[in-house]
Amino acid sequence: MIHATAVIDRSAVIADDVEIGPYVVIDAGVTVGPGCRIGPFCRFAGPAQIGPRNSFESHCSVGAPPQDLKYGGEETRLEIGEGNVFREFVTLHRGTPGGGGVTRIGSHGLFMAYAHVAHDCQVGSHVIFANGATLAGHVDIGDHATIGAFSAVHQFCRVGRYAFLGGYTVATKDCLPFMRTVGSRPARCFGPNTIGLERQGFSPESRAALKRAWRFLHSSHLNASQAVEKIEEELTDSREVDELVTFIRSSRRGVILSRG
């Protein structure tokens, strides 16, 4: 199961059934769980904890030091859940002391070719990163979010659950959960991700409530604070709308709306 050309540090912990391809390098401090498949030319640096049944296609860089000038070689780590697929040339970096020391990736995600997760990011489960999708440091990505091809998310920004970022989006503020955000400088929100939410099994009532909330947020007669107040007054029985409002109220960088 381990190719003869692979170079594996003796202190690395590798489950018995892990498949390791040609010219893979696994350094000290790396743990690889059962059922993982590591394709040719991948490099793993530690400390890194890799859960079960992850697949790394080829040329992935996993657990490399953060690209942060303040980083001075301190021991930080990368944690990955289970069942993810990492395609060619994906790069995943460890955390920094100033960001909590750990980069986390959840489970059952798809990271297409050349996707990048920088230091101290917290990425949820069931996410999709299309080709070249890029996170700066300290970014939070909610479960079931989709980051479109060649999109970039600014440091310290958040992308909410079930959010959809279209290709080539540049997100310099928080991206609303359940909504579609598209565009480059300025990116704009285009309302609920209707098709995606339906495919994910959201009820017609939930989708309708999110549409009503969006009408307030989109209104030229209301600023963002006034829109949130109207939503709280008139939409009181939707968990998704409650989550949307909480996300907006907790934003530190502001949220992307249709106003740009």
Query: Given the structure tokens 């007669």, which residue do they identify?
Result: 221
Respond yes or no: is residue 137 known to be catalytic: yes
Q: Which of 27, 120, 140, 174 is catalytic?
A: 120
Looking at the structure, do residues 129 and 202 belong to the same domain, yes or no?
A: no
Averaged pLDDT score across all residues of the chain: 96
**Could you tell me the residue range of the domain that residue 209 belongs to?**
197-249
Respond yes or no: is residue 138 known to be catalytic: no
Please state whether the predicted TM-score (pTM) of the whole model is above 0.75: yes
Looking at the structure, do residues 125 and 17 belong to the same domain, yes or no?
A: yes
Give a yes or no: residue 185 inside a domain. no
Looking at the structure, do residues 37 and 124 belong to the same domain, yes or no?
A: yes
Q: Which of 137, 142, 148, 160 is catalytic?
A: 137
Give a yes or no: residue 123 inside a domain. yes
pLDDT at 200 over 60: yes
Place 259 in a pLDDT band, splitting at 50, 70 and 90.
low
Q: Which of 93, 116, 119, 144 is catalytic?
A: 119
65 Cβ neighbours under 8 A, 6+ residues apart:
45, 71, 73, 93, 94
Q: How many CB atoms lie within 10 A of CB 3?
A: 13
Respond yes or no: is residue 120 known to be catalytic: yes
Give a yes or no: residue 77 inside a domain. yes
Place 258 in a pLDDT band, splitting at 50, 70 and 90.
confident
